[in-house]
Structure 1
Amino acid sequence: MSHAMQRATELALDEKTVTALRAVLRTTADEVVQAIIDEVPSYANALSGRMGGTIRRAVRTALGHYLDLAGGKATGGDASDAAYELGRGEVRDGRSMDALLSAYRVGARVAWRGLAEGAVPAGLPAAEVAKFAELTFAYIDELSAASAAGHADELAARGLAHERHLEQLARDLLAAAGAEVLLADAQRAGWQPPNSLTAVLLPAAQTRPAYRLLDSSTLVLDDLPDAMGVLLVPDTDRAHLLRQLKDRTAVVGPARPWMRASASYARAMRARLVSPDIRDTENHLVELVLTADADAYADLRARALAPLRTLPATTARRLEETLRAWLLHHGRREEVATTLFVHPQTVRYRMGQLRDLFPDLASPQRVLELTLALGLPRH
């Protein structure tokens, strides 16, 4: 049994008193509404015009249920249901519970004063007046609690719906959905599209903690395959982002126009497969390019370096290292020698061997193929 119902069973106003109170109900309801307008600024405009009429009827209905309760004829459930919906409506109107609770306090005070002025002349004994007061405020407490529950439930429902809309937007971005789909997703989620998005790939367990460090417009998914998650960070300063993620196992893709976030995500995913040590994909473009088609790269290496395969393994490895250094240092013998920790004369000797193996070593096409073939260190 609710607190208000318990108070009502102790009071149970007689029909004569209830009838007298109903006679002042309309006036009391109007006084309650006016007091709320005067004392709760958030409702100054909300209670005017048609809305004011609606609220006045709602107040009269609540007071009517209250009198039914006081007369032992109602449970007050209808009023609690209405209060619950009122709390939900406050969310839709963009107000917190503070304004509504203030309105309840003001309403309780004014309603008690008006109803008490009607009850005393009706002959309500003084001893019963105190019980009447207790019932009034117990009833208001229950309405307040019902409204608070409605407000909280609506916030939770809206928050959950909003989160689902944002997740759907993120999934469609990763799937490279069309512009029409993405724009509809963004509008549904109330998400303002940025100029660019940067994908950050992390273990799922690290995704939400990292998300809390970033811009609130960041999109997040933490249920990707292989226990991974992704953050899509809007319009970020890359150096700052990397500093924010320095203690995370993160792979940061390139910034891309927001509708092309899938390209940033794809690069981060490939970088993760190439090496567990890659954090900033922008610093590893050579590796990413050369491993984009692993079979093609293997074929290129095999063809370009075929002359070396005719030699003993140790000799081939030594000449490959020399050729790579020669290409990187544009044939500057002293620098090649320093890199390999050998004498410049040794470099000259080895390059003589390489020119015998690659007669067209000076050819731009041969230089290009060898540069690509030797672009990654031998594993």
Structure 2
Amino acid sequence: MTNKSSREFPALSSYKVHLSPEIVESVREALPRVSDEVVAAIIAEVPAYQDALSGQMGETIRTAVGIALGGFLSLASGDGLAAEAATATPPALEGAYSLGRGEARSGRTTEALLAAYRIGARVAWRELSSRAVEGGMAPETLAEFAALVFAWIDEISEASAAGHADERATTGRVQRQLRERLARQLLAGVTPEQLDDAAVRAEWTPPSTLTAVLVPNSQVGTILAKVNQATLEFDDLRDLDDHTLLLVPDAHGRRRRALMKALEGRRAVVGPAKPWREARISYERARRAHFAGLGSDTEQHLVELVLSADADAREDLRAQVLAPLADLRPATAEKLTETLRSWLLHQGRRDEVAAELFIHPQTVRYRMSQLRDVYGDRLDDPATVLALTVALG
């Protein structure tokens, strides 16, 4: 705001209006009433301000109106407007800038703020021009006086709009940082109390569930435009520098289909919907699916994800359950392993096993006979069958 409040204003200095002491005194006497009428008109005509002008914020707005009118009068009563602008405008512009920031914090839009200025300008001009004429202003000077009034309003409304924009930008940066911190804590598995506190600080209303979506960095903007605006974004991912994590609120049930449709062709990987404090589970599953090269919907690949959850343990299990075949020739062991896997998955239906392996049913019978010779009754033991199915699945 320093540059805005300290510069000169050629638009103002171009107006050669000089108010006589009599006019100045007449206008000055009217300033408190003009301020009240401006505030009353804003309350009546701008819906966003109907309940806003009470308490501390109302006092701030009334003070800003008073400073703006006082600054204008100081400006218009000087012998040299260019010189007066340097001293008259900074306090009023600083007040207008601060007002704009306060309005942004209160959640009111720039449109509402500028509407208040338009209405204020109309009321102020009506009252100020009336008092100026009563004080002896010549009719031919009135047009210049009007132009100065509205040029002044343009300046202070521009300062308020700048304050509003700066506050929104600052608030947006802070909120993004707090939401990134919340996402980091969700992945870190901190306590529920810490998560609740982080959500409050980020002004983020916790949903029922969060769904992790791993997205290529180049696709983030496009996807964010299609999902819930409360989606958390986090790009500081271990071993995934080219991806960003989105945690999408309440994308469970039928909403998951809509999410998957929005992600078609985007090379995204979608974890399961989990209670929001358990979002790390969804992320870890999406991460494993990504590195395993599976499809975009992890819910369609649960078997593969389960079987690959601990690759080393699975290899150990495979070696353990296939130990009875270790003494056979490698080619024979490979064929028997292939047949045993198909037999388990087809639940012993010989013709289906034969069709899958492109061999004769009698060959299946022969190979299963060999397997029973080495495994014995263990092929009828549920625990062994389970271990074989997991190892070979």
Q: Normalization by structure 1: what TM-score? A: 0.89
SS across alignment from 2:213? strand
Q: Is the 8 A contact 1:304 1:369 kept in 2?
A: yes
1:32 and 2:38 correspond? yes
- Name the structure 2 match of 1:270: 288
User: For residue 166 of structure 1, what is the amino acid of its counterpart?
Assistant: R
Q: Name 1:316's counterpart in structure 2.
A: 333
Which residue does the alignment assign to 1:230?
245
Give the AA of the match of 1:186.
Answer: A
Cα displacement (A) at 1:362: 2.7
Contact 2:217 2:243 in 1 (8 A): yes
- The one-character-per-residue Cα deviations of 1:213-249 (angstroms, maximum 9, x if unpaired) are 2222322223423222112222223333323322121
Q: Which residue of 1 aligns with 2:159?
A: 146
Matching residue of 1:370:
388
Residue aligned with 2:271, SS: strand
In structure 1, the residue matched to 2:234 is 221
1:155 to 141, 163, 168: 168
Q: Is residue 252–residue 279 contact of structure 1 (8 Å, CA) maintained in 2? A: yes
For the residue of structure 2 that corresponds to 1:330, the secondary structure is coil
Matches within 5 A, 1:330-345: 330-345=347-362
Task: Determine the C-alpha separation between the residues in 2 that align with 1:322 and 1:246.
Answer: 38
Q: Distance in 2 between matches of 1:232 and 1:46?
A: 35
User: What is the match of residue 29 of structure 2?
Assistant: 23
What displacement does 1:14 show? 4.0
Instruction: State the 1:41 CA deviation.
Output: 3.9
Determine whether 1:288 maps to 2:305: yes
Cα distance in structure 2, aligned partners of 1:33 and 1:284 = 63
Distance 1:59 1:373, change over 3 A: closer
SS in 2 for 1:162: helix
2:60/2:99 contact within 8 Å kept: no
The one of 257, 260, 264 aligned to 1:239:
257
Corresponding residue number in structure 2 for 1:188: 201
Which residue matches 2:372? 355
- Cα distance change of structure 1 residues 244 and 32 upon mapping to structure 2, 3 Å threshold: closer
Cα distance in 2 for partners of 1:27, 1:53 equals 15
Q: CA deviation at 1:251?
A: 2.0
- Could you tell me the percent identity over the aligned residues? 53
Task: Map 1:70-109; keep pairs closer than 5 Å.
Answer: 70-72=76-78, 73=84, 74-109=87-122
1:123–1:229: structure 2 CA closer, same or farther, 3 Å change rule?
A: same
Q: Summarize the Cα distance change of 1:307–1:195 in structure 2 as closer, same or farther, 3 Å threshold.
A: same
Structure 1 segments unaligned to the other structure (5+ residues): none
Q: 1:349 to 1:141 in 2, by over 3 A?
A: same
2:265 aligned counterpart, secondary structure: coil
Candidates 7, 12, 22, aligned match of 2:14: 7
1:333 to 1:107, Cα distance in 2 relative to 1, 3 A: closer
Q: Provide the rounded CA distance (Å) in 2 between the counterparts of 1:110 and 1:70.
A: 18
Q: What does 1:192-211 align with in structure 2 at a 5 Å threshold?
A: 192-211=205-224
CA distance in 1, matches of 2:282, 2:342: 33
Q: CA RMSD in A?
A: 2.4
Verify: 1:279 aligned to 2:285, yes or no.
Answer: no
**Aligned counterparts of 2:55 and 2:217: Cα–Cα separation in 1:** 52
Asked if the contact 1:4–1:142 (Cα under 8 Å) also holds between the matched residues in 2, the reply is: no
The CA distance in 2 between the partners of 1:152 and 1:206, in whole Å, is 28
Q: 1:297, 1:50 → 2: CA distance?
A: 67
Amino acid corresponding to residue 303 of structure 2 in structure 1: V
Deviation at 1:18, TM superposition (A): 2.4
Q: 3-state SS of the aligned residue for 2:193?
A: helix
One-letter identity of the residue aligned with 1:346: T
- Could you tell me how far apart the structure 1 residues matched to 2:177 and 2:55 are? 37
TM-score, normalised to structure 2, is: 0.86
User: What's the offset of the Cα at 1:354?
Assistant: 1.8
* Matched residue type, 1:70: A
Query: Aligned residue for 2:5?
Result: none
CA distance in 1, matches of 2:341, 2:178: 52
**What is the CA–CA distance in structure 1 between the aligned matches of 2:258 and 2:61, rounded to whole Å?**
52
Pair 1:259 & 2:277 matched: yes
SS in 1 for 2:206: coil
User: In the superposition, relative to structure 1, how do residues 192 and 49 fare at CA in structure 2: closer, same or farther (>3 Å)?
Assistant: closer
Say yes or no: does 1:133 pair with 2:140.
no
Q: Distance in 2 between matches of 1:98 and 1:338?
A: 72
The question of whether the paired residues in 2 share the 8 Å contact of 1:197 and 1:261 is answered with: yes
* Whole-Å separation in 1 of the counterparts to 2:57 and 2:375: 90
Given that residues 61 and 99 in structure 2 are in contact (C-alpha distance below 8 angstroms), is that contact kept between their aligned partners in structure 1? no
Change in 2 beyond 3 A, CA 1:353/1:47: closer
Aligned pair count reads 373
Moved more, 68-77 or 361-370: 361-370
2: distance between equivalents of 1:258 and 1:300? 35
Residue in 1 that maps onto 2:81: none
Q: Judging changes above 3 Å, is the alpha-carbon distance between structure 1 residues 50 and 94 closer, same or farther for their aligned structure 2 residues?
A: closer
Where does the alignment leave 5 or more consecutive residues of structure 2 unmatched? 1-7, 79-83
